[in-house]
Structure 1
Amino acid sequence: MRRCMEESEMKSSPTLARKSNCLFPNRIPKENRLVNVVKEDEIQDRDIVRIKLAVERLSDSEELIADCSRPYTLPTICGKHKDLKSITPQTLRDLFSGEYNQFYTDYTIIDCRYPYEYNGGYIQGAVNIYTKQSIDVLLQRSEKDRPQILIFHCEFSSQRAPTLLRYLRAQDRMLNSQNYPRLYYPEVYILNGGYKAFYDHNQDFCNPSSYVPMLHEDYRSELHHIRTVTKSQTEREKTRGKSKTMSRVVRF
């Protein structure tokens, strides 16, 4: 009987009714709860549709960069790494010579060789980035400081450059996972043949005009030190659980 009286009082008092709704969320009118659920479902459905359309566009067109915003600026070839976009040394030389000035070509060349190789001769304007930690710093740049195009290479563009390029793309996808297919760096290339192939025919674009191989006998101690440090860093990351499993990327 007391419970009936309390409910009667609450119905007659708007203030008590509002307090009751705050104290007991399950008393929110059913129709309002239903509206909230429907809105959440609609948002999720829209996200699914957006992602599906982006995936279809990437799958249907080999010419769109990885965020679907526009075609690739530079002509590409079928290189050694089928999942990456490769350009020839001649294309890079043409880029230097203003061949693509009709496009907005704010680019950065990422030299993934070790410091002693880089200091022994590098492509003009290239920056030396050879660790994953440096790639993380690159991803932290503000929007105004991000170049439109990144071109990766190592000595032969066989292992080091492709590895860091894939790492950048995986991290980029993860950081923008809520806004797929948005990316900080949607247009990235690998230089086919690496520094060696470029140097063979374009020494006038190298500074200094020389070439130090990774396995040069004068730098054995430097190579051993770098490999030891890199291996140690990798082991520490695994021990601390920093290695993260990235979701599968449909296309770079």
Structure 2
Amino acid sequence: MLLKLWCIAAGAFSTASALYNAIETGSQPDLNICPLRRHQTPPNNIEIRLPPTFQLPSQIDWEPTPPFWFLGTWYFAYSNSVVYQLFQNMQWTLYPTGTYGIDGTLQDLTSEFALNKTSFVFKNYGVDTPTVINGQPVPDSYTYIPTPPLTFANNTWEVIAWGYDSDGVPYAVVYETPADGGLVGPSLDIISRSDKGPSKPTLDAIYDGINDLHNEALSAVLKIVVKLTQNGGRNGELFPSCNATCQTNAYAFGVALGTGG
């Protein structure tokens, strides 16, 4: 019990103190040793749930990610998304809105190079609102709505697995529902705090765990997941931030507009 209480106190202190450091300095949240012990895969078995938007019974009781654990910058390592495959060195940065303490909303920023161009960083901005299904809030599930002119591309993203890989690096598996604009279907994304992605033993566990769910829709998406291009081209730079112009999604079309990010 004393260890558990210490873990809670230490985790709250370290994650809260790192909350803004990730945005301002590019540093990642501190490693919390207590979740590491329980959620490192391997040696522990992976825990994977069906996407809550499937509204099917899940085989496990879902343990939500620790407070603030998901904030900061992640690297997209694997995905079946044909849109994500058009880019390289894709990062995903989550940080609180001004009303985070009231409604749990997050600012959501993806940033990336085109495959053949590294002089311009595309930035796509939106706001994530915690998902509610049948009147009940769903942990680790968010409705994403980009600002105009990209509002047509809204969807829901939900964490279906999370933890630390066999090297101790945080990872997560995210399911994304089709964008309402109808441009892309569902996607399955494997993300990591390292641009190298999860370690091979952990990646194998992710694949085995999803297939063990015996869900045809999820297994079909998994079959077309590929490794995304992460070649270290943005290493050494501060993690991205989003100014007022960025929040209008002007930098999503910056090449055409002649602007930069």
TM-score, scaled to structure 2: 0.28
More helix by share: 1
When Rg is computed on C-alpha atoms for both structures, the one with the higher figure is 1
TM-score, scaled to structure 1: 0.29
More strand by share: 2
